[in-house]
Amino acid sequence: MTAQQTLSDSVAVVTGGTGVLGSALCQGLAAAGATVVVLARRELPVAAVADRINAAGGRAYGLAADVLNQAQLITARERILELYGRIDLLVNAAGGNTPEATAIPGQRTFFDLPPEAMQWVFNLNFTGTLLASQVFGTPMAAQQHGVIINLSSMAAFTPLTRVVGYAAAKAAINNFTQWLAVYMAREHSPAIRVNAIAPGFFLGDQNRFLLLDAQTGELTPRGRQIIDHTPMGRFGQPEDLIGTLLWLASDASRFVTGIIVPVDGGFSAFSGV
């Protein structure tokens, strides 16, 4: 880690901080010196992630809040400001998918997707990112500095089969990332930067049912197809995101805003031939 990538004295908020990816991002930020506020809906998992970080010598504080509940987010923000006086970094890691919003051959066609399931996926991924950016971006505007990092997906660039709602929501996040980067820099301060990370295929709760057979643990045909189209020949591991996260979060990228960085093992570079 370079001196530019240290985050000592920074206060970072991570939504979805108890998820497979979110918890790894929390740990990576804490290892770089940040005080990490782990934010998610349920109190016990939030406390567990914070306790692991503190036990390892980092600094973390857990808060329960739903990214779709603006009042809860505001309460969380006021508690953070009471404790630390500022918010330097927001990582919007809350997101996911559900089988009910996924077109699966033999189970559910596009024409059968329930509107409420589609709306739930879009809200969780996009609206949760929007609301958290409004609430936690407010002190950044007042401070005239800060960093917002959104989590996009490979599905945002070229829609993947099956995950129609998820792909649409992540595409919206890409557009929003660029819009907010320009808005923050021009309307508030050039020292407020907004970027996104677009993971390739990482095993998580929202996609495991599509990639691994629940009975055998072996790759499904879709999982095999993904590995065959990933030049590095494997799924991503949560720790694979930390280097990009620290680059975007720190002064190492101080002239970078409005970009979406793929971390995908070469998936987006491979045509399949």
Active site residues: 166
Q: Among candidates 65, 51, 52, 56, which has minimal Cα distance to 13?
A: 65
Collapsing DSSP to helix, strand or coil, 89 comes out as: strand
Beta bridge partner(s), residue 15: 39, 92
- 94's tokens: 């809350």
DSSP 210-251: HHB-TTT-PBPHHHHHHHHT-TT-S-B-GGGGHHHHHHHHSG
The answer to whether 233 and 214 are in contact (CB under 8 A) is no
The answer to whether 166 and 155 are in contact (CB under 8 A) is yes
- 213's tokens: 């057979």
β-sheet with 146-151: strand ranges across:
59-64, 35-40, 11-15, 89-92, 146-151, 192-199, 260-263
- 265's tokens: 């093992």
